[in-house]
Structure 1
Amino acid sequence: MFQPEQISKLNDLEALVFDFIIKSPEQVQQMTIRDLASKVHVSTSTIVRLCSKLGFEGWADLKFYLKSQFREKTPEEQHYDNMLEFDMFLRRMNTNAYQERLNQAAKLIAEADYTIFLGLGTSGSLSSYATKYFVNTGLRSFVITDPFQAVQVKGIGNIVAVILSVSGETEQVVNKELEFKAEGAKIISITNTEDCTVAKLADLQISYNLVNEWSKQYPLGNLTTSLPALAILEILAHKSIDNVVKQMKKSE
Structure 2
Amino acid sequence: MLISTALQEQKEFNNSEKTLADYILNHRESVLEFSIQTLAQQTFTSTSTIVRFCRKIGLKGYKDFKIKWSAELQKEYNEITNVNPDFPFTEDDTYPEIQKKILELLTESLHQTHAITSNERMGKAVDLLLNAKRIGIFAYGDTYLPALNFQNKLMKIDMPVQLSVIPGENRHLAANFGKEDCALILSYSGESKNNYFITNILKKNKAKILVISANPDSHIARLADLLLPVAKSESTSVKLSTFSSQAAIDFILNTLYGCIFVANYEKNHTKRIESETLLLDDRFDS
TM-score (norm 2): 0.56
1:83 aligns with 2:106: yes
Query: Mean Cα displacement is larger for which, 80-89 or 178-187?
Result: 80-89
Q: Tell me: CA distance 1:220–1:227, structure 2 relative to 1, closer, same or farther (3 Å).
A: closer
For each residue in 1:201-234, what CA deviation from the matched residue of structure 2 results, as whole angstroms up to 9, or x when unmatched? Answer: 111011112210589xxx3655242111111111
Q: 1:108 aligns with which of 119, 128, 136?
A: 128
What's the CA shift for 1:137? 2.9
Identical positions, percent: 17
Where in structure 2 are the equivalents of 1:194-233 lying within 5 Å? 194-212=216-234, 219=238, 222-225=241-244, 226-233=246-253
What's the CA shift for 1:106? 0.3
Q: How far, CA to CA, are the matches of 1:231 and 1:110 in structure 2? A: 19
Number of the residue aligned with 1:47: 68
Unpaired stretches in structure 1, ≥5 consecutive residues: 1-5, 10-32, 38-42, 247-252
Q: Tell me: CA distance 1:192–1:210, structure 2 relative to 1, closer, same or farther (3 Å).
A: same
Q: How far, CA to CA, are the matches of 1:210 and 1:154 in structure 2? A: 30
Q: Tell me: CA distance 1:214–1:161, structure 2 relative to 1, closer, same or farther (3 Å).
A: closer
Q: 2:205 aligns with which of 166, 183, 192?
A: 183
TM-score (norm 1): 0.62
Q: How far, CA to CA, are the matches of 2:131 and 2:65 in structure 1? A: 42
Verify the 8 A CA contact 1:86 1:227 in the aligned structure 2. yes
Verify the 8 A CA contact 1:139 1:241 in the aligned structure 2. no
Verify the 8 A CA contact 1:126 1:230 in the aligned structure 2. yes
Verify the 8 A CA contact 2:189 2:236 in the aligned structure 1. no
Matching residue's letter, 2:226: L
Where in structure 2 are the equivalents of 1:140-151 lying within 5 Å? 140-144=160-164, 146=166, 148-149=168-169, 150-151=172-173
Number of the residue aligned with 1:25: none
Matching residue's letter, 1:194: P
Matching residue's letter, 2:242: L
Verify the 8 A CA contact 2:113 2:231 in the aligned structure 1. no
For each residue in 1:222-247, what CA deviation from the matched residue of structure 2 results, as whole angstroms up to 9, or x when unmatched? Answer: 5242111111111112223444569x
Number of equivalenced pairs: 192
What's the CA shift for 1:69? 5.7
Cα RMSD over matched residues? 3.7
Number of the residue aligned with 2:176: 153
Verify the 8 A CA contact 1:190 1:207 in the aligned structure 2. yes
Verify the 8 A CA contact 1:85 1:210 in the aligned structure 2. no
Number of the residue aligned with 1:164: 186
Q: How far, CA to CA, are the matches of 1:154 and 1:46 in structure 2? A: 42
What's the CA shift for 1:177? 0.8
Matching residue's letter, 1:89: Q
Q: Tell me: CA distance 1:69–1:138, structure 2 relative to 1, closer, same or farther (3 Å).
A: same
Verify the 8 A CA contact 1:118 1:145 in the aligned structure 2. no
Verify the 8 A CA contact 1:101 1:206 in the aligned structure 2. yes
Number of the residue aligned with 1:192: 214
Q: How far, CA to CA, are the matches of 1:45 and 1:131 in structure 2? A: 39
Q: 1:239 aligns with which of 245, 256, 259?
A: 259
Unpaired stretches in structure 2, ≥5 consecutive residues: 1-28, 33-56, 84-95, 267-286
Q: How far, CA to CA, are the matches of 1:221 and 1:170 in structure 2? A: 19
Matching residue's letter, 1:50: A
1:134 aligns with 2:154: yes
